[in-house]
Amino acid sequence: MRNESTVEIRRLGSPLLRKSSSLKVWKRGLPLYLMILPGLLFFLIFRYLPMGGIVIAFQDYSPFAGFTGSEWVGFAHFERLFGEADFWSLLKNTLILSALNLFLFFPAPIVIAVVLNEVRVQWFKKFVQTAIYMPHFLSWVVVVGITVILFATQEGAINKALADAGFARLEIMTDPKYFRIVYVLQNVWKEAGWNAIIFLAALASVDPTLYEAAVVDGANRWKQLWYVTLPALRSTIVILFILRLGHVMDIGFEHIYLLQNSLNLSVSDVFDTYVYRTGVLQGEFSYTTAVGLFKSCIGLILIVIANKMSKKAGEEGVY
């Protein structure tokens, strides 16, 4: 494409003609603008229009009065949110699930990639890859459904096995004490293999002579792993870790929503599920828009900070 722009400049001729030639560039772009238009309309109507809709967080929105007729109430909804006991439990639940993701879910794909990278038997490597990518293509409904099938208190195969062996049955789906670990293990099961792709790509570009040099220096396989393979992943790990930090507020709404029930609400309720329940189901549009806005703003701030950190760490930014 760099080539193309130089060709373009040459063809456009002398700078004296710049005015008419810029018109020419617009004209030449016309078919492309037409191709972009449907997509642009999508972004404007379904992504930017809702951003405008955020104003209702500062109103007492009534569906009958609309955006223009509803009464302005300033920060009243935010004051209500910060005053609610629910707020602290929502924040706490979100942060705990995020922390679990960072320290248990995040390292899993790295381990998988490093291990897969050591496999020299090609058919086995292919087979493992195909198998561990598989859960990524399942819906959360299927993943949670399989968990229910295996762990159902009475019918579940695992609880049956436990009971037969004389252990107590585990109430995996209903007892709040299991919720967090089930959540993070399901994340690992579904996405760890798939997320290894990016680390595998980084490892594929490692210069093989580095390993040869390490062997000459007397490094065994463990040392090669420590001194060659892991350093090769360093920058990918740093950038993805920072990216994750920027998404502390996003913990997989659909997943949480499917796992949630009246019995585990004390540990499973997060901002998004709260917004859905109170907003869509109970019709408190303005208040829950404020809740959503609070969440989005924290998210935005975190992403900006994360991006700064990434650049400071000598890595490329995300944007």
Q: What does the alpha-carbon distance between residue 317 and residue 308 come to, in Å, rounded to a whole number?
A: 7
Q: How far is the CB of 221 from another protein (least distance, A)?
A: 4
Size of the residue set binding another protein (CB under 8 A): 108
The interface with another protein within residues 263-292 (CB under 8 A) comprises 263, 272, 275-276, 279-280, 285, 288-289, 292
Q: What does the alpha-carbon distance between residue 32 and residue 175 come to, in Å, rounded to a whole number?
A: 56
Q: What does the alpha-carbon distance between residue 120 and residue 97 come to, in Å, rounded to a whole number?
A: 37
The interface with another protein within residues 243-262 (CB under 8 A) comprises 253-254, 257-258, 261-262
- Scanning 73-81, 82-90, 99-107, 193-201 for contacts with another protein by CB under 8 A, the matching segment is 193-201
- The one-character DSSP state at 17 is G
Q: Which CB sits closer to another protein, 98 or 294? A: 294
Among 91, 96, 102, 152, binds another protein (CB under 8 A): 152
Torsion sign (Cα): 295, 298, 303, 306:
negative
Q: Does 305 bind another protein (CB under 8 A)?
A: no
Cβ–Cβ under 8 Å, residues 163 and 169: yes
- Scanning 13-21, 90-98, 99-107, 205-213 for contacts with another protein by CB under 8 A, the matching segment is 205-213
Residue 231's alpha-carbon distances to 194, 210, 277, in angstroms, are 22, 11, 46
Among 17, 25, 65, 181, binds another protein (CB under 8 A): 25
Q: Does 32 bind another protein (CB under 8 A)?
A: yes
Q: Does 180 bind another protein (CB under 8 A)?
A: no
Contacts for 137-145 with beta carbons within 8 Å, 24 or more apart?
138/190, 140/190, 140/252, 140/254, 140/255, 140/258, 141/258, 143/186, 143/189, 143/190, 144/186, 144/255, 144/258, 144/259
Among 76, 198, 245, 309, binds another protein (CB under 8 A): 198
Q: What does the alpha-carbon distance between residue 183 and residue 172 come to, in Å, rounded to a whole number?
A: 11
Q: Which of 200, 194, 233 is nearest to 119 (CA)?
A: 200
Q: Which CB sits closer to another protein, 17 or 131? A: 131
Residue 154's alpha-carbon distances to 150, 162, 163, in angstroms, are 10, 11, 10
Q: Does 29 bind another protein (CB under 8 A)?
A: yes
- Scanning 68-76, 77-85, 92-100, 141-149 for contacts with another protein by CB under 8 A, the matching segment is 141-149
Among 17, 36, 65, 230, binds another protein (CB under 8 A): 36
Among 96, 298, 299, 309, binds another protein (CB under 8 A): 299
Residue recorded with tokens 């040459």: 10
The interface with another protein within residues 73-132 (CB under 8 A) comprises 111-112, 115-116, 118-120, 124, 128-132
Q: How far is the CB of 172 from another protein (least distance, A)?
A: 10
Q: Does 65 bind another protein (CB under 8 A)?
A: no
